[in-house]
């Protein structure tokens, strides 16, 4: 009769996904001073995780493209089709839905608050 060893405790409890493609995230205007989401923010977080040793305590998970369904768990269908998919999918958008998007003073695209409140 053999004695079974208890199952090994998993080494990692937190996973991190990082890909250099994330560094392409930015507003079309390119002004990182007025937009909180940009490549420098992502790179800064990753560097800090490495400096503090937290990166080594997490499992590094390979990145992949999100599915349309996954994008829609945190974004509206309009936003997901407009920004998160192939430009051909944008043809699926009703023209009335795209009217809530406006050109920002910086040159990027944003949501018209006045249209959203009507």
**CB-based contact 102:111 (threshold 8 Å):** yes
d(CA 115, CA 118): 6
46-68 pLDDT, tens digit each: 999 999 999 999 999 988 888 88
pLDDT band at 101 (very low <50, low <70, confident <90, very high): low
Q: Fill in the DSSP letter of residue 112.
A: -
**CB-based contact 27:108 (threshold 8 Å):** yes
Residue 34, both tokens:
């007025």
């Amino acid at each position: 009769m053999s004695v079974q060893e208890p199952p090994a405790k998993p080494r990692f409890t937190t996973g991190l996904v990082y890909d250099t493609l994330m560094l392409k995230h930015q507003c079309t205007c390119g002004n990182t001073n007025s937009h909180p989401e940009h490549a420098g923010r992502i790179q800064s977080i990753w560097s800090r995780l490495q400096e503090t040793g937290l990166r080594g305590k997490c499992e590094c998970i390979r990145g992949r493209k999100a599915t349309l369904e996954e994008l829609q768990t945190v974004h509206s269908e309009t936003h997901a089709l407009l920004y998160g998919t192939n430009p051909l999918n944008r043809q699926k958008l009703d023209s009335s839905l795209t009217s809530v998007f406006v050109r920002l003073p910086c040159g990027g695209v944003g949501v018209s608050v006045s249209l959203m409140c009507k």
